[in-house]
Structure 1
């Protein structure tokens, strides 16, 4: 593939692909490939000009070498990248917008007046029919207002005014539809599945396989806490499936042999073996789009108020028109009131503001599942952090394996990894990564694995019961003991590390010491959140009092709770809400799911447990906690924009009504200024909320 550099400056390069025409598919492939390259910070590909603007962090030579080696055929791109990119849709709407504008002015300038009048009358029938239909349903809403304004103008013979009103209404509808579909598409893409590995059932064993290799009819095993990657039918097992990502209902449903399960839902309890019926990931995207468009989740409280206020204002506008005519007996002045309504701007600007805020959040790697959650983040005064994987690093590391039986540390680590790899949690990942780093491969040595939420794992190896988990689980729930003569070794375990305990046949076999350092940015983020208006910041953890106290002191939270269970976190959130507080919960594990559901807005760390991401209302990248501050700033800026839009809409339209009643402006001018201001306010709502 051949490129030429059109312009460049420090860290920025504009390149041109030497080809006659770039298809949408080729543009998507090029953009996807560049985004995946580690040395690129951001990229934008322009298919019309065959150009790409690249912001890179690697060396210039490295960037050039990468481009030299690029070819469309040599890239393995997921089907959904091209199928659901939105590039073709954007081009379609751009063409519609340009075509509508050109057609309107060509008709206005080239058609004779009689033909123009006939066309305007024919076009008005749609609007008048919608108004009559609305009245027939005993409603006085925006269609009635539009039909009246257009109808009165035609009756008066003012075809230019009627045509201008319909043109501006058409432009507004097109912009609103385009913005809505674009924002919904961006949100759906970010919510679509990104599952790399699944457990394939193969001759009575489970084999970790690439999701892309799974075929229709294959059997895969779904463990508790994992996302179901494909539409499937249950062939064995029993479990409770959370379908909130598709239906909006957070109450899990019971699934057993013969029942259907769907891609993107989450197994909350139990274990299922399923037969795959649909492999394509596109089905998940389509379902998410449908869910977003139909769900009331998308609407914030202020959006709902705007829509209700808009419809309630229509009778007042009609009444004001009638009153103006009665007082002045001047049809022109009365029509000036009719041409201006508050409802159009309210209904258009508010949803666009929210959808663009969701889109902007997406550019910061923040996935927001609905406008009301941005409103909740803006209003919240309490924020609750889980500790492990949230305030501490998302990738804790194993620093030591202390044996308590006659077995090597490596063999004990191999056994621990064999058990832990079935369940997603940052501590489990630490054990798995440590085993992989030492090349400790293993066959499946155990029988069925049982996961006890927030406690640990229980299984059987060579007929012996093996448990691994917290101190509470191993020593209190399972009644395990320290082997004789090992009490001193147990007492001298290093306190600076978190401990994972493994016991065989009720005797402690090993303690895995895990370093779980505080994120470097954690203290600064907590300080910034205080500054952003959070009055109460809490840390909750299942870890020991000693560890929790040390972490809390380092990061500067207002309050902390140690050795808590999942129900304790959820209970705390519910009690704060009952006391009148708006609460945000941030977590990454299965044990955080109840609290995430209970909060006004639940925020999950993207590289945490799949069930946490699916249940949460917002997902943030695991790279930098500062994104939570960015989320708060976007939410607050959105609320300011919405309130400011209210003021502008009321102020501009009130002024236009006043000028019309006084006879300063004509109805056509009034309609033009009203619709133009509505479009300008809506376009302004598409501007970035945060400065770079």
Structure 2
């Protein structure tokens, strides 16, 4: 067992193996990579000997070499002994069908060939009649007319050749469509996700979803997506099952109740015992993607497909005109054998799938095909601040305690409350407690979350509150002059999180959330491309202004509530603008759903992911720039397909009308052209940059 290095750089290693990379071996290597934090992705090449390994940005390429060395020789030998069925390829499909066609022509007597042709033609005739009954003049009618006309004018071999080419084309089209979906599904499955699990000691630990085993206890908290089928082991909560049932009313779940993947825990906390380790949510997203692509009749994709169907009637018009002018059915047959619609109807959906797969490979998860074509038309991009423009994992720089409370006590109380909320500032407190090795057992009563403000609860029957300065004032938490001086000292530099207990301010968390590295570059790029940018945040004006001092926004609104974000987007849309919203928290979900395109980071609350149109899986705003490249390349590819389809097929029709090509040659060249356009549409966009 040996791997030879073909090429390497700082983040990617391409090697050739000394053994065949069968599907079972590929599955083994993928599974092994999921448990290695250094490995980002493994890609297998069609020669079944070559693979490429990409490492995460925090690791050296040497980790990829170590990964290869860790592969067990005995395991590979065992997998090589298993029965192996080679993946079907276009070459295999064409070779098989050509062989069968040649054998029929050589070995079958002419009368049997004739009756076999009649039998085959009956299937095409049935489809044509069915389409006409439904008042559809489409490709089925065109194909049926071409075959029956060939038989009627005494050319059964031409009809047989036409059906052979059509059947071969159908098989290749089915293969490309299936392969496109499989490639997209595999790309989706390689996206890593982390969940909280109870270990053998009952302690919550974070694990990759690929490491989840049957009967593991996975913890899902308010706002998160339930990723596995299972049974509630403990806890209770309200679950939105609309993705399964279509009903938007949350269902109460408690001990012993079944829960299902791709549903949302809107309230409460559930400890779920896993009964199905398959991560179904990606497949659900894929099926939703397919459903939307067919149902959304307003997309550019469906307009092209509708145009393709409309073109069929002009083929029949060409038949009539050609026959009237020449009196030759053979020449008129050219318009039945060559059409403009087939290549468009098949290549356009596959082009969209290829674009979405390329986006997934660049860690941009698109949940609606309409996003790709809408993106270039966006007029205004609206940003939330915390967790969107800023890094998603802010840090507690300092904990300040007041009165007789120690810093550890303040951090313990804060972490105990904040561990139930998925928001960057809350996570910062919980992470700091973990770093300081502070255990924070449950000590509070029922929690009440106030959007954009904080949390209310009780400890020892006394009110405890953690959140913003405004929430402290609303709950009449006493803040002394000395404390006000401390607040004034730090509020310009840090995000401040306040902890009040028993009517007094007992603690202050200084949290730093710097801008993402690519924020300034992306904001400038959006403006250079003619788009307005807006910033809506619940943070104060002073803090916001100090953070974005060197950045320009067309609109800046601070201390806004979720309803005010929603209202701003509504006003902009009413003014005729196409709006894109980028957010991260539960309070952004309404605005995200209203925007023409809703976008979130991978660290966003899962309910936001559910209502958004796309997810930047790598938490990099630069994904917006990559998405425009993909969108522009998709538009160019579709236009190129349209020009080639019309240009090449028009030439073929002319050659047929002037008797320069036989009907069989026309059919072969037309279907080869269609297949070539489809295969190119299936390829990624990397080679065309």
Q: So what's the TM-score if we normalise by structure 1?
A: 0.87
Q: Aligned residue for 1:362? A: 360
**Which shows bigger deviation, 462-471 or 51-60?**
51-60
SS of 2:370's partner is: helix
**Which shows bigger deviation, 516-525 or 670-679?**
670-679
Q: Aligned residue for 1:85? A: none
Check conservation: 1:385, 1:587, Cα contact below 8 A. yes
- Which of 153, 158, 164 is matched with 2:155 structurally? 158
Alpha-carbon separation, structure 2, partners of 1:143 and 1:328 = 26
Give the superposition deviation at 1:110: 4.1
- Residue 281 of structure 1 pairs with residue 282 of structure 2: no
- Residue 636 of structure 1 pairs with residue 632 of structure 2: yes
Alpha-carbon separation, structure 1, partners of 2:606 and 2:478 = 34
Specify whether residues 72 and 368 from structure 1 end up closer, same or farther in structure 2 by C-alpha distance, changes over 3 A only. Answer: farther
- Residue 651 of structure 1 pairs with residue 647 of structure 2: yes
Q: Aligned residue for 2:673? A: 677
Check conservation: 1:298, 1:369, Cα contact below 8 A. no
Q: Aligned residue for 1:79? A: none
Specify whether residues 5 and 407 from structure 1 end up closer, same or farther in structure 2 by C-alpha distance, changes over 3 A only. Answer: same
Q: Aligned residue for 2:326? A: 328
Alpha-carbon separation, structure 1, partners of 2:237 and 2:61 = 56
**Which shows bigger deviation, 546-555 or 232-241?**
232-241
Alpha-carbon separation, structure 2, partners of 1:140 and 1:8 = 53
**Which shows bigger deviation, 294-303 or 602-611?**
294-303
Deviations, residues 541-585 of structure 1 (Å, cap 9, x unaligned): 111111222334433332221111122222222222222222111
Q: Aligned residue for 1:78? A: none
Check conservation: 1:165, 1:675, Cα contact below 8 A. no
Check conservation: 2:176, 2:678, Cα contact below 8 A. no
Give the superposition deviation at 1:630: 0.4
Alpha-carbon separation, structure 2, partners of 1:441 and 1:94 = 60
- Which of 343, 346, 355 is matched with 1:345 structurally? 343
SS of 2:490's partner is: coil
Q: Aligned residue for 1:624? A: 620
Specify whether residues 508 and 96 from structure 1 end up closer, same or farther in structure 2 by C-alpha distance, changes over 3 A only. Answer: farther
- Which of 509, 513, 522 is matched with 2:510 structurally? 513
Specify whether residues 72 and 462 from structure 1 end up closer, same or farther in structure 2 by C-alpha distance, changes over 3 A only. Answer: farther
Specify whether residues 536 and 15 from structure 1 end up closer, same or farther in structure 2 by C-alpha distance, changes over 3 A only. Answer: closer
Q: Aligned residue for 1:469? A: 467
Q: Aligned residue for 1:24? A: 23
- Which of 145, 154, 158 is matched with 1:148 structurally? 145
Specify whether residues 184 and 406 from structure 1 end up closer, same or farther in structure 2 by C-alpha distance, changes over 3 A only. Answer: farther
Alpha-carbon separation, structure 1, partners of 2:656 and 2:163 = 20
Alpha-carbon separation, structure 1, partners of 2:685 and 2:194 = 34
- Which of 487, 490, 493 is matched with 1:490 structurally? 487
Specify whether residues 315 and 603 from structure 1 end up closer, same or farther in structure 2 by C-alpha distance, changes over 3 A only. Answer: same
Alpha-carbon separation, structure 2, partners of 1:308 and 1:512 = 59
- Which of 260, 263, 276 is matched with 2:261 structurally? 263
Alpha-carbon separation, structure 1, partners of 2:662 and 2:14 = 49
**Which shows bigger deviation, 9-18 or 620-629?**
9-18
Deviations, residues 276-296 of structure 1 (Å, cap 9, x unaligned): 584332554554454343344
Check conservation: 1:342, 1:653, Cα contact below 8 A. yes
Q: Aligned residue for 2:312? A: 314
Alpha-carbon separation, structure 2, partners of 1:186 and 1:337 = 36
Alpha-carbon separation, structure 2, partners of 1:89 and 1:288 = 29
Give the superposition deviation at 1:357: 0.5
**Which shows bigger deviation, 350-359 or 41-50?**
41-50
Deviations, residues 335-375 of structure 1 (Å, cap 9, x unaligned): 01111212211211111111110111111011111211111
Alpha-carbon separation, structure 1, partners of 2:219 and 2:35 = 30
- Residue 241 of structure 1 pairs with residue 249 of structure 2: no
Check conservation: 1:570, 1:595, Cα contact below 8 A. yes
Give the superposition deviation at 1:3: 1.9
Give the superposition deviation at 1:504: 1.0
Give the superposition deviation at 1:505: 2.2
Q: Aligned residue for 1:227? A: 225
Deviations, residues 444-476 of structure 1 (Å, cap 9, x unaligned): 222232222222122222222211112223323
Alpha-carbon separation, structure 2, partners of 1:616 and 1:150 = 48
SS of 1:281's partner is: coil
Alpha-carbon separation, structure 1, partners of 2:316 and 2:371 = 36
Check conservation: 1:637, 1:689, Cα contact below 8 A. yes
SS of 1:503's partner is: strand
Alpha-carbon separation, structure 1, partners of 2:403 and 2:176 = 64
Give the superposition deviation at 1:640: 2.6
Specify whether residues 100 and 462 from structure 1 end up closer, same or farther in structure 2 by C-alpha distance, changes over 3 A only. Answer: farther
SS of 1:492's partner is: helix
Check conservation: 2:599, 2:612, Cα contact below 8 A. yes
Alpha-carbon separation, structure 2, partners of 1:3 and 1:156 = 63
Alpha-carbon separation, structure 1, partners of 2:468 and 2:335 = 71
**Which shows bigger deviation, 386-395 or 118-127?**
118-127
Alpha-carbon separation, structure 1, partners of 2:535 and 2:39 = 36
Q: Aligned residue for 1:374? A: 372
Q: CA RMSD in A?
A: 3.5
- Residue 44 of structure 1 pairs with residue 43 of structure 2: yes
- Which of 401, 417, 424 is matched with 1:426 structurally? 424
Alpha-carbon separation, structure 1, partners of 2:683 and 2:49 = 26
Alpha-carbon separation, structure 1, partners of 2:565 and 2:502 = 32
Check conservation: 1:378, 1:639, Cα contact below 8 A. no
SS of 1:495's partner is: coil
Specify whether residues 224 and 4 from structure 1 end up closer, same or farther in structure 2 by C-alpha distance, changes over 3 A only. Answer: closer
- Which of 135, 139, 143 is matched with 1:138 structurally? 135
Alpha-carbon separation, structure 2, partners of 1:26 and 1:412 = 52
- Residue 593 of structure 1 pairs with residue 589 of structure 2: yes
SS of 2:648's partner is: helix
Alpha-carbon separation, structure 1, partners of 2:50 and 2:684 = 24
Check conservation: 2:497, 2:508, Cα contact below 8 A. yes
Q: Aligned residue for 2:448? A: 450
Check conservation: 2:239, 2:263, Cα contact below 8 A. no
Give the superposition deviation at 1:485: 5.0
Deviations, residues 519-554 of structure 1 (Å, cap 9, x unaligned): 2211111122223x3421111111111122233443
Q: Aligned residue for 1:605? A: 601
Alpha-carbon separation, structure 2, partners of 1:681 and 1:522 = 39
SS of 1:467's partner is: strand
Aligned residues: 671
Q: So what's the TM-score if we normalise by structure 2?
A: 0.87
Give the superposition deviation at 1:661: 3.0
Alpha-carbon separation, structure 2, partners of 1:556 and 1:659 = 60
Alpha-carbon separation, structure 2, partners of 1:53 and 1:214 = 28
Give the superposition deviation at 1:183: 3.6
